[in-house]
Amino acid sequence: MTQPLYLKAYGKVNLGLDVIRRREDGYHEVRMIMQTVKLYDRIILERNHSGRITLRTNLPYLPVNEKNLVYRAIDIIRREYGITDGVSASIIKRIPVAAGMAGGSTDAAAAFVGMNQLFALNITQEKLMEYGVSLGADIPYCIMRGTALSEGIGEILTPLPPVPSCWFLIVKPGFSMSTKFVYEHLTLDAQTKHPDIDGMIDALNRQDLTGVTDRLGNVLEQVTKQHFPAIDELKAIMLQNGALGSLMSGSGPTVFGIFTSREQAEQAARACRKHPAVRQTSVVRPFNKTVHTKSAAHHAYM
């Protein structure tokens, strides 16, 4: 037995999400600007002599077998490196489930990083990201974290300068959206309003927060808000309460706003909580990587 390893699995939002086209293989080609935020799940890993993987969660409806991405991430590393020791894992969820924040993907990313540490395997980040993409397109980004341009089906990643200092209000309504459903019902035509991804990259390079918030855009909103008008209503509440910009993240239904002060974000959170659809609010900072050493990458998970 060893000491348990405690890891923070941070969620993400999309500052910009553009869908270029539907590919022949059924996947969609995207250009997205991803941002890690300091809303996190806690992953606890412990090695033992059982020879098995055991999984526990604080949410009774989450699977605790091979249907769970954390279980599968642990299993991949055990098989690849001939590990016979058992691993017990606990997932304490705080990131909303099925909400466009990569909650399952970031938990799996933390499991890959944690297994690397727990068994002192010295796997490079690049190799961990290769294992990650075999389970899901968002997992390599969740291993890398920070601010990044995501292309292809989400697996081609380019680090970007960090988002300038700000606060995020993250609001999860009490309904969920299937990513598969949203993409299946997405129409790309001459009327599609595409976000200015290149302009946002330029604003990040100039560290111009307003330049970023003026360009927030997500082509998937057109599908989700047809079914849930609360998305537009929550965006309006945030803008009325001082948000520089507001957007739905991923396929939704989570909505976020960007603020210059915590006080404004908290005020907007109080206003949003009066909306009958709202189930969860969080005011958090963005997670930005300041150093790129291997040890820093490990400590960032603690």
Q: Taking every pair of C-alpha atoms in the chain, what is the biggest distance, in angstroms?
A: 60
Cβ atoms 47, 54 nearer than 8 A:
no
Cβ atoms 279, 174 nearer than 8 A:
yes
d(CA 269, CA 114): 33
CA end-to-end span of the chain, whole Å?
A: 20
d(CA 255, CA 232): 9
243 is in an annotated binding site: no
139: pLDDT confidence band, cut at 50, 70 and 90? very high
104 is in an annotated binding site: yes
Catalytic member of 138, 172, 225, 235 = 138
292: pLDDT confidence band, cut at 50, 70 and 90? very low
Residue 182, Cβ neighbours under 10 Å: how many? 20
12 counts as catalytic: yes
Which of 62-76, 175-189, 276-290 has the least mean pLDDT?
Answer: 175-189
Six token digits for residue 39: 């809303």
Q: Which residues of 12-28 are buried (b: 16+ CB within 10 A; e: fewer)?
A: bbbbbbbbeeeeeeeeb
* Alpha-carbon torsion (146, 5, 102, 246), positive or negative: negative
* Alpha-carbon torsion (160, 164, 165, 170), positive or negative: negative
90 is in an annotated binding site: no
Task: Output the pLDDT for position 293.
Answer: 45
Catalytic member of 12, 172, 225, 235 = 12
124 is in an annotated binding site: no
190 is in an annotated binding site: no
138 counts as catalytic: yes
In the chain, the amino acid numbered 47 is R
Average pLDDT rounded to a whole number, residues 198-202:
98
165 is in an annotated binding site: no
Residue with tokens 């002599």: 49
Look over the chain and give the mean of its residue pLDDT values, rounded to a whole number: 92
Taking 60 as the threshold, does the pLDDT of residue 261 lie above it?
yes
Task: Output the pLDDT for position 296.
Answer: 44
Average pLDDT rounded to a whole number, residues 7-20:
96
d(CA 271, CA 7): 32
Q: Over the stretch 21-58, which tens digit does the pLDDT of each residue have? A: 877 776 788 999 999 999 999 999 999 999 999 999 99
In the chain, alpha helices (H): 69-80, 103-118, 125-133, 139-144, 179-184, 197-205, 209-213, 221-227, 230-240, 262-273, 294-299
Average pLDDT rounded to a whole number, residues 125-148:
95
Taking 80 as the threshold, does the pLDDT of residue 235 lie above it?
yes
Q: Over the stretch 207-217, which tens digit does the pLDDT of each residue have? A: 999 999 999 99
Task: Output the pLDDT for position 191.
Answer: 78
Taking 60 as the threshold, does the pLDDT of residue 249 lie above it?
yes
Taking 70 as the threshold, does the pLDDT of residue 290 lie above it?
no
248 DSSP β-pair partners: 255
d(CA 109, CA 234): 30
Cβ atoms 239, 196 nearer than 8 A:
no
Residue 66, Cβ neighbours under 10 Å: how many? 11
Compute the CA torsion angle 17, 39, 71, 151 (nearest 10 deg): 20
Cβ atoms 103, 11 nearer than 8 A:
yes
Task: Output the pLDDT for position 69.
Answer: 97
